[in-house]
Amino acid sequence: MNDAPTGVVGEIVHRSPQLITCYWDKPEETAEAFSGDWFHSGDMGYFDEEGFLYIVDRMKDVINSGGVLVASREVEDALFQHKAVHEVAVIGLPDPKWIEAVSAVIVCREGHRVEEKELIAHVRDRLAYYKVPKRIIFVDALPRNASGKILKRELRRIHGETEAAFVTDAPQEP
């Protein structure tokens, strides 16, 4: 519960008179969310030099790959820059070497095809080596809730239980 220095990512916590006071009939979730008299949003972010807040990712979507934290949103943004990518969700999948392997679940644009190696090369030019996906999984559609939000927990469940193909050209440490 210390303020993060400018430019350093931390958990976004806040409080105000307009904030909810509890989750209906969920005392355990309420206690967790309001720990230390602050509301723990579940978001990660940082302040710039001018005091603007930037949201980086959801805490539960941050991937622990080899002991380094990787924001799934940053990897998604890099993949979205490829012309063949229509939708993408980046998740961490269990891995004996990396703890969690950065894994991208991709829906291609209609009429487009792309190989794993091409996407890996594309992302390698934009991100640090440890952020490059170790696995690329192609699907026809991403699971969504009633409001259209991608269900990453469902992707983790589905693809964490099945053996996803490793990208043979996955990045190695320098």
Give 72-97 pLDDT, tens digit per residue: 999 999 999 999 999 999 999 999 88
Domain-embedded: residue 1: no
**Considering the entire predicted model, what is its pTM?**
0.76
Q: Which residues, in sequence order, are CB contacts of 111 under 8 Å at separation 6+? A: none
> For residues 102, 115, 120 and 11, what is the CA-based torsion angle, rounded to 10 degrees?
-40
Structure confidence at residue 57 (pLDDT): 82
Q: Which residues, in sequence order, are CB contacts of 89 under 8 Å at separation 6+? A: 72, 76, 104, 105, 142, 150, 152, 155
Query: Tokens at residue 97, please?
Result: 């070497």
83 and 138 co-located in one domain: yes
For the chain, percent of residues with pLDDT exceeding 90: 60
- Average pLDDT over every residue of 137-163: 90
Q: Is the pLDDT of residue 156 over 60?
A: yes
**Nearest of 21, 60, 56, 59 to residue 37 by alpha carbon:** 21
Domain-embedded: residue 4: no
pLDDT tens-digit series, residues 94-117:
998 888 999 999 999 999 999 999
Q: Is the pLDDT of residue 122 over 90?
A: yes
Structure confidence at residue 65 (pLDDT): 92
Q: Is the pLDDT of residue 2 over 70?
A: yes
Domain-embedded: residue 170: no
4 SS3 class = coil
- Average pLDDT over every residue of 44-53: 93
Structure confidence at residue 48 (pLDDT): 95
- The CATH code of the domain that includes 71 is 3.30.300.30
31 and 87 co-located in one domain: no
Burial of 94-129, coded b for 16+ CB within 10 Å and e otherwise, reads: ebeebebbbbbbbbbeeeeebebeebbebbbeebee
73 and 23 co-located in one domain: no
For the chain, percent of residues with pLDDT exceeding 70: 93
- Average pLDDT over every residue of 30-49: 88
Q: Note down the domain range covering 132.
A: 60-161
Structure confidence at residue 171 (pLDDT): 52
Distance (Å, whole) CA 20 – CA 35: 14
Average pLDDT, the chain: 89
